[in-house]
Chains A and B, each alone.
Chain A
Amino acid sequence: MIYDEPRVLPGGDTFVLVQFGDDARIDLNFMALGLTAALREDRTKGVIDTNPSYNSVVVEYDPDLIGADDLAQELRRLIEGLGSVEDLELESRLAYLPVMYRDPWTKACVEDYAQRIAPRDGDPEFVARINGLEDAAQLARVHSGTEHWVVAVCSTPGLPLMVALDPRCAITSPKYNPPRTWTTLGAIGVGGLSTSIYTTPGPGGYNLIGRTPVPLWDTQARLPAYRDRVVLLDAADRVKFVPVELEEFEYIERRVADGTYAFNITGYQRFSVRAYKDWVASLDPSERF
């Protein structure tokens, strides 16, 4: 549901959570990212940080500079100024990320889980099957056939939560239960409606369908892409996965290791929600790649 009036809920004395609705429809994320952009542009006094997600934004504020009631009022003013969701145009870069689908490393990670924790078949085959796809090869085709929208960047540094923008490429899958205790660094995971990339080798619950050789964050500014930023992706960016085979994967790994890898990121585009919706309406959703 989309709330008629966004809810501004307290999170202690220095945070509020602004909720636009209570489900995962992408319009709610567009609104959350619209508000995030508006707060950045407005330089609202006392606002310290914003943390957008599927249907909400956490706003951190300094109560010495702005009271809770005034903040709520400012937030409502900015939300009103956004107009309808179709009116939103968001800054959005497009990052091409290499991925080896059905790679040996995530396969080994899933096998280790199956051996130690709970029986399990290969993840790509499982995800393909429950989505009515022919095989894991078609899963790779479908997954790399769409731009993925970065809904949020979170938790472990630079970890993007993404959803497919092309409804013909949407896949859904249940998460691991119990979760994995470790995950291959750079693993591409799918769970629920989302895709993520594991930026640290920690625990996780998404099904592993491939691996990227490129880092999504870099605190040492070793690669040129990280000279003026720490994490590669921001919310509202888009990712297109480019399938590579082992030889290419290892070549990219070497370029990353010697600090010469150049990311392919397109930066001039704005994402128009109206244009996107018009395009979606023109599609035959039963088509699959």
Chain B
Amino acid sequence: MLEIVKPGLETSIQDFPGRVGYWNQGFPPSGPMDMWSFRLANLVVGNDEGAPGLEAQFMGPTIKFQRDSVIAMTGANMRPILDGQPIPMWESVAVGAGQTLLMGPAVAGARGYLAVAGGIDAPEWLGSASTFHKAGVGGLDGHAVRAGQVLPVKEAAGTPGRRVADRARPTFPGGKTWEIQAVRGPNDDWIDDAGHERFIETAWMLEARSDRTGYRLTGPDWTFTEKATNKAPEHGDFPSNIIDQGYPLGAVNLGGQTPIILMNDGPSMGGFICPYTVPSAGFWKLGQMKPNEYIKFREVSVGEAQKLRLALDETCTHDSIE
């Protein structure tokens, strides 16, 4: 049992891969934004990679353990402290009943993950325990955790003293710029050559108004092909308007002139073009970016993106735990 002393900033229960398969009813996948770190946190405490755990954003929670347990923290470094003593990240650590874990502000990365042996015992809804607060579903009560709440944990022994191999951990960039993959499409033919060049050359700044729904980027204006400027009126007034279409997860969605990357809790459909899509292997980076940092996009093919996905899957296995 985890007693939430302080909730941190929108700390929520998530599982992997989330609520997959319900786009057509308007439910997004949700799930952890940095799935790489999340899966490894589970594996190192001895859980299945997908077991429900906590995602903390920017500012971690304070948690009191009501019974002996084994935990691990991965992702953003929130300098975890157990009863006054710093404890390592990326390792499974035994905690005793009555001990208090303090996770602070993220000093590197943005989202920290806490896995507990057995996993948080949250009910599955549409096949997932992931919190989607806009619809009030998932987690314990459909929302971020609150002070005073007690999160039940499934019984499991867990093994302390194991660690995620150094080679298997994601590395955050030294500076403020993240290189993130992007695949052309589905609506790339609405952007002219100069627009495509600008997309790749620009360091796009992440706006503060970004969350699990979408990441808003600041950069130069877009330029369009005839497809965008000379079209049937039912598409809408702006060059980036298109007759409502479904959106891929990770789409770089062009609302007017502002690109918004559609994230785990994002909309399933709308009336704006998506000239690029961030592939699944690029998502963890988005999850670990902070506002006012920059993205440089690197164009990859669908095939390359699928290879990266496979490589990530191969990293998130027991072979990476030592």
Contact = CB atoms under 8 A, between A and B. Distances in A.
Interface of A: 9-17, 19, 22-24, 36, 48-58, 60, 63-64, 68, 152-159, 161, 175, 177, 192-193, 199-200, 217, 219, 230-231, 234-235
A53 B279 contact: no
Given A49-B21, A50-B23, 16 more contacts: A10-B183, A10-B184, A11-B185, A13-B280, A23-B234, A49-B24, A56-B246, A58-B247, A64-B310, A154-B269, A155-B26, A155-B268, A156-B267, A158-B25, A200-B134, A219-B142
Contacts of B27: 157, 230
7 contacts: A10-B277, A11-B250, A12-B302, A24-B234, A51-B246, A155-B267, A219-B136
B246 A53 contact: yes
Contacts of B73: none
B241 to A, nearest CB: 10
Contact of B280 (A12, A23, A219): A12
Contacts of B302: 10, 12-13, 68
A283 B270 CA distance: 33
Q: Which 8 A-B pairs have the closest CB atoms?
A: A11-B248, A58-B246, A15-B248, A12-B277, A51-B246, A154-B269, A9-B186, A13-B305
Contacts of A13: 183, 279-281, 302, 305-306, 308-309
Contacts of A10: 183-186, 277, 302
A19 B186 CA distance: 10
B20 interface: yes
A12 B26 contact: no
Interface in B276-322: 277-281, 302-303, 305-306, 308-310, 313
A230 B19 CA distance: 14
B243 A24 contact: yes
A192 B20 CA distance: 31
Interface string B81-123: 0000000000000000000000000000000000000000000
B2 interface: no
A219 B234 contact: no
B149 interface: no
Contacts of B306: 13, 63, 68
B24 A52 contact: yes
B23 A49 contact: yes
Residue of A15, A51, A63, A68 ringed by the most chain B CB atoms within 10 A: A15
Interface string B32-54: 00000000000000000000000
Interface string B244-259: 1111111100000000
B25 A53 contact: no
A177 B237 contact: yes
B24 A235 contact: yes
Contacts of A19: 186
Contact of B22 (A49, A52, A193, A235): A49
B126 interface: yes
Given A10-B277, A13-B309, A159 B26 contact: yes
A158 B24 CA distance: 9
Contact of A51 (B24, B232, B243): B24
B78 interface: no
A36 B248 CA distance: 16
Contacts of A153: 24-26
B26 A157 contact: yes
Given A49-B21, A63-B309, A154-B267, A219 B251 contact: no
Residue of A48, A54, A235 ringed by the most chain B CB atoms within 10 A: A54
A14 B250 CA distance: 10
Nearest to A68: B302
Contacts of B136: 219
A154 B278 contact: no
A152 B25 contact: no
Contacts of B151: none
Given A10-B186, A10-B302, A57 B246 contact: yes
Interface in B40-71: none
Contacts of A9: 185-187
A12 B278 contact: yes
B275 to A, nearest CB: 11
B137 interface: yes
A56 B126 CA distance: 25
A38 to B, nearest CB: 14
Nearest to B242: A22
A156 B26 contact: yes
Given A22-B232, A155-B270, A235-B24, A17 B245 contact: yes
B203 interface: no
A50 B137 CA distance: 21
Given A17-B186, A23-B234, A156-B134, A48 B269 contact: no
B137 A219 contact: yes
